[in-house]
Amino acid sequence: MNTESLGFIFLNATLINNFVLSLFLGICPFLGISGKRDTALRMGAAVTFVMLVSSMAAFGIHHVLVWLDALYLQLIAYIAVIASTVQLVEMFIKKFSPTLFKALGIYLPLITTNCAILGVALFQTLREYSFLQSLVFALGAGVGFTIALGIMAGLREELNLADVPSLVKGAALTLMLAGVMSLAFMGFGGLGG
């Protein structure tokens, strides 16, 4: 039984141990986001939603597996659920907002292999969170992911106008930026302690 408070769990997932900048989850979309803040925020929203749904499903699956004494099937079950959720979200977005669907493009199906989503399921199981704690954790992870993505997109947007040596442009630049951001976020350590 985990005794962390809900507020702390949220703060932890969002800032102190930010999924992207501390735990290195969700790097692929993070590096690929091309400096359009809008797309970044929408991507973040989609990811948060998938995280919440997967978190609930993972919680249920874990307890069923414990009851069946078949914990070795956990990884496969988690990934199956995540893949299905992403499919559903994709169909949903396509139906209700074709413009958003187009804007997200290839990134939408890529959410399946977004380590952050599986990371939420795995960590909440590892830390033995209750149902409510898991939900708050998933929400915090999604919000933290969106924050990191939003900041990076904003920075890239600004840097497009700056005089960056061509050698550095692209992945190298993004990584350096990420390094500085990660360093900055370390300042949140000890928060709420």
Partner 1 sequence: MSEAEQKTETPEANPARSGEMIRALVGVAAVSGILISVVFQWTLPAIKANRAEALQKAVFAVIPGVKTVVTFEVTQEGKLVALKEDKEAEEKMYAGYDQQGQLAGVALEAQGQGYQDVIKILYGYNPEKEHVVGINILDSKETPGLGDKIGKDPKFLANFEALDVRLKEDRSGAVHPLEVVKQGTKSKAWQIDSITGATISSKAVGKILNASVPQRLPVVQKNLDTLKEKP
Partner 2 sequence: MQDMAGQTAAPTLETFLEGIWKENPVFIHLLGMCPVLAVSNSAVNALSMGLATTFVLVLSNIVVSSIRNLVPSQVRIAMFIMVIATFVTVAEYLLQTISLEIYAALGAYVPLIVVNCIILGRAESFASKNPILPSILDGLGTGVGFIIAIFMMGALREILGSGSLFGVALFGDQFEPWVVMILPSGGFFVLGFILLILAWTQERMKGEAK
Q: Where do contacts with partner 1 occur on this chain (CB under 8 A)?
A: 4, 8, 16-17, 70, 72-73, 76, 80, 87, 90-91, 94, 106, 108-110, 113, 127, 189-190, 193
Please tell me whether residue 15 binds partner 2 under the rule CB under 8 A. no
User: Which are the contacts of 89, defined by CB distance < 8 A and separation ≥ 6?
Assistant: 46, 49, 50, 53, 108, 111
Question: Choosing among partner 2, partner 1, none, which partner's interface includes residue 90 (Cβ < 5 to 8 Å by kind)?
Answer: partner 1
Question: Choosing among partner 2, partner 1, none, which partner's interface includes residue 63 (Cβ < 5 to 8 Å by kind)?
Answer: none
In this structure, the number of other CB atoms found within 10 A of the CB of residue 140 comes to 27
Question: Choosing among partner 2, partner 1, none, which partner's interface includes residue 91 (Cβ < 5 to 8 Å by kind)?
Answer: partner 1
Please tell me whether residue 129 binds partner 2 under the rule CB under 8 A. no
Encode 18-57: b = buried (16+ Cβ within 10 Å), e = exposed. bbbbbbebbbebbeebebebebbebbbebbbbbbbbbbbb
Question: Choosing among partner 1, partner 2, none, which partner's interface includes residue 4 (Cβ < 5 to 8 Å by kind)?
Answer: partner 1
Question: First and final CA of the chain: distance in angstroms?
Answer: 19
Written as six digits, the tokens of 186 are 């370390």
Q: What is the C-alpha separation between 147 and 23, in angstroms, rounded?
A: 14
The nearest distance, CB 103 to partner 1, in angstroms, is: 15
Site residues (CB under 8 A) for partner 2? 21-28, 31-32, 72-73, 75-76, 79-80, 83, 106, 109-110, 112-115, 118-119, 122-123, 126, 167-168, 170-176, 178-180, 182-183, 186
